[in-house]
Structure 1
């Protein structure tokens, strides 16, 4: 979708949202604050972000006031392990093209969405922004993490050398919600659980498999809450720290996420633990001290978010 309506004479600012048809992009466009902006959200067919020249031409022609960069090749452990080359190269290309295209076109503000995968593995404490690039990355998603680190540092360098350019990076924790991917081969943990337990309900299965022993801890935020934070940030990007986590500040075990989904679906079966499967980092929790100082906390409770996501999943299943 390339929404150019109302650009002339409205007095509203113009924002280019990359990945506008992905989960983050769609949640951004559905948010009430989106009505305050003229949104450019070209589809992949309309603008190939891997095409450096096309991206630069688009930025110069449209001259947005802000870019929210949410595009990229994303997925869970299975997807990252199956295609490490794609996760590295495609995200490197997209990140470089969009950031430099915007910078060279004179776009004054940029919100770069990075990933908590950038943080070192094996840390027991909540992950602070200062932890980035201080240790070994998690091997199961290293390619994706490296690409995101490069984009983050590029925004840092632009901000350092061009003080009037408000190029900032936010690091969301893991996300779930409306418009998520629910195929277990490509999805993150929560949507994969929803798909697996939903199938157990439909097929009358009494057992669902969990990778690992279920004790690894993860932090997941409802995607509409991230959209709320990003629109708040869009009002004054220069007021953000150069790098800031956006998250819950709390985490749950993988088994607790399975229990929450099972409870929402009314499934009373048993879980079987496959200890031969990889689970990634044992714990990945964001330190949200800077976020709280900025004055924002996510409004959606876990069970409420999971219930809403299940409703979306079931609606999509009925449509298909």
Structure 2
């Protein structure tokens, strides 16, 4: 990849895609191509093929996906499976047909088995059962990374995948039910503070361990990986540091300034008990995350407040 490479970033309005665009432009990769979902429906095979035939990008960063937290995955498994499977198959095949030389598929740490040895090494993939609460999404992402692996093996194209840990940052989704862990907590504690609520209820025991990475760190890892001459087919991207959900909640409460009580709803599921990525391979190649969790939360909260005041907070 060179500064003149034409780079298509799918999902550029989302948290990950927008972070990738910012990082590319900051490093001098200004020849980027984007489309909104209303301009290009990635579930429409014909439209996707037409786009690739007309634009002919050199590089693709696939950051578009249907995503959500435990509640959303449990409630809409058919949508999560179908939409993500179709997005992957449409874009990977159309990219190959149009001569795209490099394709980076972004997955998720949920592709690994629920009870795989920790930290989660890339070799743990498909060794045992998945976590049921996000199985549909995980299966779709596994299919996408395997497609990249197979196209690389059969056709010799540089199609590879990056598996990020749990992410947060600018442009996150703050839907009260369908968002991921940190934005859900940030909104919940902010609203509790504003309402002067004496307590905030959290799902589960608070004991499961989670690794969280700022989206700007992921974007940096994306650009780094794209410049590797012969990367592994699958690489984990994370911080290598984990916190309990309770600890994360307490960090968010402290940042927001909420001083009430945190109560656990034991009738709700915990999800995966632990999900720490083994980032040894990416670290050995020369990349490490730079934004500690406390700093990342401090940076994220003012942006949340700004968007809330402007009425531009993403919440769907």
Q: TM-score, normalised by structure 1?
A: 0.94
SS of equivalent residue, structure 2 residue 105? strand
User: What secondary structure, in the 3-state scheme, does the structure 2 residue paired with 1:208 have?
Assistant: strand
Aligned pairs (5 A) from 1:24-39 = 24-31=16-23, 32-33=25-26, 35-39=28-32
Q: 1:108 aligns with which of 81, 87, 101?
A: 101
- Is residue 150 of structure 1 aligned with residue 143 of structure 2? yes
Aligned mate of 1:196, from 188, 195, 199: 188
- Give 1:299's aligned residue: 290
- Higher deviation after alignment, 189-198 or 226-235: 226-235
**Does 1:84 find its partner at 2:89?**
no
Residue 215 of structure 1 pairs with residue 207 of structure 2: yes
> Which residue does 2:277 correspond to in 1?
286
Kindly indicate whether the alpha-carbon contact (under 8 Å) linking 2:3 and 2:31 is maintained by their aligned counterparts in 1: no
Contact 2:4/2:31 (<8 A) preserved: yes
Specify every segment of 5 or more residues in structure 2 that has no aligned partner in the other structure, as ranges: 312-316
Asked whether the equivalents of residues 173 and 221 of structure 1 are also in contact (C-alpha less than 8 Å), the reply is: yes
Gaps of 5+ in 1: 1-9
Alpha-carbon distance between aligned partners in 1 of 2:3 and 2:255, rounded to the nearest angstrom: 45
- Alpha-carbon deviation of 1:30? 2.0
**Counterparts of 1:82 and 1:53, CA distance in 2:** 29
Q: List per-residue Cα deviations over 1:99-146 (Å, max 9, x = no partner).
A: 111011110000000111110012342001000011001100100011
- Contact residue 175 and residue 220 of structure 1 kept, 8 A: yes
Q: Show structure 1 runs of 4+ deviating over 3 A.
A: 32-35
Equivalent residue, structure 1, for 2:314: none
1:34, distance to aligned residue in structure 2 (A): 5.5
1-structure distance, mates of 2:194, 2:87? 39
TM-superposed CA distance for 1:37, in Å, is 3.0
CA distance in 2, matches of 1:25, 1:112: 12
Match of 1:59 among 52, 55, 62: 52
- Which residue number corresponds to residue 260 of structure 1? 251
